């Protein structure tokens, strides 16, 4: 009796990439909705769990998509060049769209230190730097004494607009549109996808920004987070590239603006060493170390090695103040905004407020480090089946999602960064032919 074939199974095998592609898009949409229109609907405890779960599903479905994605030819150079032109036009259109929403917010919201101290603090750094004073010493012209706890590349980009008399927020928004969204267009132009998919994805970062401020006009009204988002867009785009210069510079920008990415960096260097080669990895390392020395260690840290510990102590005091205020206000404020797991520790961790914070700090370190270790194992298992650039990008997206979910004060503007990194998974899924499966040895 002849053996029966199973054409339905064969059709399912061909159909699976499309299923995972749809799942990726739905997961990203859900993550954005939970952050914007549905924010806090499930309460301060379960809503952050759902938000983090949507980010985790996005990572999982991206890996499944590439696990079952057959290899296809890469985009032709002529097509890449043509799409770069169209990407530039999309960048212009997206910029106008963003300005239509954000410009009135900036104009109608004067800087007020009693509402947010971020910009006044940066103005102090820049003023000291321009006058040749010591930057990292106590600030005494605020409503409260404060030791500077911002890294150099959070405030150095504003030296020029300060000299020109420009509002820092216009400059920060310009950096996001030109550098961050520009990096998006460059990465997108290399994807061998249909023109309609290219057109939709070319406007995705602008749509995401508009969706965020449409639901929360205060989000970027008095902070400089658009600059940090620009840095991380550059990092995500550099991970997808093969340029050591782009990767090194992006790491410098991110490491010297926030410590967020620091636990992911060793994993990334190990992957680069194995996949891109020793010479490439050493070049990335040299650029990164040179940038850290040139912009932080030599001009600032070497003058006072206690700067780092002072900044950490200042952050601990700010955290204690915010958590105490939330307790007095009956579980209100940033701790209970539905975006982070701090609410669980504030309510259920044992001990006084300082001990509760310590429990969260331990969990933050262990869980963020655990995500990196998980991807170390996944890389070893899947290195012959999924391109290392995809593994590194997914690891970055999931690591940052957990990092910001367990941060001590889950400010909305901080957590919004994770959505822009998540968007890069949407960028690569659909075309995907640049990231070829390899046959298992």
The pLDDT value given to residue 9: 41
Q: Which among 272, 267, 264, 213 is positioned nearest to 247, based on CA atoms?
A: 272
Q: Which residues pair with 139 in a beta bridge?
A: 146
From 420, 378, 427, 402, select the one nearest 63 (Cα to Cα): 378
Q: Is 67 exposed, middle or buried, given 0-12, 13-18 or 19+ CB atoms closer than 10 A?
A: middle
Res 77: pLDDT: 80
317 Cβ contact list (under 8 Å, min separation 6): none
User: Which residues 6+ apart lie within 8 Å of 91 measured at CB?
Assistant: 177, 181, 182, 185, 202
Q: Which pLDDT score, from 0 to 100, does residue 17 have?
A: 81
The reported pLDDT for the residue numbered 314 is 81
Cβ atoms within 10 Å, residue 96? 12
Cβ-contact 213, 102 below 8 angstroms:
yes
Residues 380, 384, 388, 390, CA torsion sign = negative
What whole-number distance in Å separates Cα of residue 52 and Cα of residue 297? Answer: 35
**Largest separation between any pair of C-alpha atoms in the chain:** 91
Task: Please list the pLDDT of the chain residue by residue as tens digits (441 residues).
Answer: 344 444 444 555 566 888 899 999 999 999 999 999 999 899 999 999 999 999 999 999 999 999 877 655 567 788 888 899 999 999 999 999 999 999 999 999 999 988 889 999 999 999 999 999 999 999 988 888 888 889 999 999 999 999 999 999 999 999 999 999 999 999 999 988 888 999 999 999 999 999 999 999 999 999 999 999 999 999 999 999 999 999 999 999 999 999 899 999 999 999 999 999 999 999 999 999 999 999 999 999 998 888 888 888 888 888 888 888 876 666 678 899 999 999 999 999 999 999 999 999 999 999 999 999 999 999 999 988 999 999 999 999 999 999 999 999 999 999 999 999 999 999 999 865 555 544 333
pLDDT, position 7: 45
Q: Check residue 70 and give its pLDDT.
A: 61
Residues in CB range of 36: below 8 A, 6 or more apart: 211, 212, 214, 215, 216
Contacts with 19 (C-beta within 8 Å, 6 or more apart), sequence order: none
Q: What is the pLDDT of residue 18?
A: 86
Token readout for 40 is 């806090």
d(CA 238, CA 250): 7
Please, are residues 304 and 136 in contact by the beta-carbon 8 Å criterion?
yes
Q: Do residues 342 and 45 make contact, with C-beta atoms less than 8 angstroms apart?
A: no
Inter-CA distances, 211 with 34, 69, 278, 370, 419, Å: 12, 31, 42, 32, 11
Closest by CA position to 186, among listed 88, 74, 73: 88
d(CA 12, CA 21): 14
pTM here?
A: 0.93
């Amino acid at each position: 009796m002849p053996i029966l074939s199973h054409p339905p199974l064969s059709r399912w095998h061909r159909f699976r990439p499309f299923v995972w592609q749809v799942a990726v898009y739905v997961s990203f949409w859900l993550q954005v909705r939970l952050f914007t229109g549905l924010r806090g609907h499930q309460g301060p405890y379960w809503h952050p769990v759902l938000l983090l779960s949507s980010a985790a599903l996005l990572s999982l479905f991206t890996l499944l998509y590439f696990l079952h994605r057959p290899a296809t030819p890469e985009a032709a150079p002529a097509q890449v060049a043509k799409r770069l032109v169209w990407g530039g036009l999309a960048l212009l259109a997206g910029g106008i769209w963003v300005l239509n929403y954000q410009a009135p917010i900036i104009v109608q919201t004067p800087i007020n230190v009693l509402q947010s101290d971020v910009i006044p603090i940066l103005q102090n750094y820049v003023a000291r730097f321009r006058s040749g004073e010591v930057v990292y010493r106590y600030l005494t012209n605020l409503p409260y004494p404060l030791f500077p706890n911002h890294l150099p590349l959070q405030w150095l980009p504003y030296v020029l607009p300060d000299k020109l008399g420009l509002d820092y927020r216009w400059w920060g928004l310009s950096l996001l549109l030109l550098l961050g969204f520009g990096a998006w267009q460059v990465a997108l132009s290399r994807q061998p996808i249909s023109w309609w998919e290219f057109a939709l994805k070319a406007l995705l970062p602008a749509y995401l920004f508009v969706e965020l401020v449409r639901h929360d006009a205060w989000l970027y009204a008095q902070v400089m987070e658009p600059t940090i988002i620009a840095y991380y867009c550059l990092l995500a785009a550099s991970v997808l590239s093969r340029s050591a210069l782009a990767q090194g510079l992006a790491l410098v920008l991110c490491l010297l603006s926030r410590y967020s990415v620091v636990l992911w960096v060793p994993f990334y260097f190990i992957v680069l060493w194995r996949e891109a080669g020793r010479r490439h990895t050493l070049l990335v390392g040299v650029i990164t170390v040179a940038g850290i020395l040139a912009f932080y260690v030599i001009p600032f840290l070497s003058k006072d090695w206690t700067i780092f510990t002072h900044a950490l102590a200042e952050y601990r005091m700010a955290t204690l103040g915010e958590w105490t205020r939330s307790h007095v206000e009956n579980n209100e404020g940033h701790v209970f905004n539905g975006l982070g797991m701090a609410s669980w520790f504030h309510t259920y961790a044992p001990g006084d407020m300082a001990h509760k914070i310590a429990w969260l700090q331990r969990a933050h370190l262990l869980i963020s480090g655990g995500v990196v270790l998980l991807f170390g194992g996944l890389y070893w298992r899947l290195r012959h089946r999924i391109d290392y650039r995809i593994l590194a990008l997914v690891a970055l997206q999931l690591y940052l999602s957990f990092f910001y979910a367990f941060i001590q004060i889950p400010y909305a503007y901080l957590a919004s960064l994770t959505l822009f990194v998540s968007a890069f998974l949407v960028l690569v899924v659909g075309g995907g032919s640049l990231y070829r499966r390899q046959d298992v040895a």
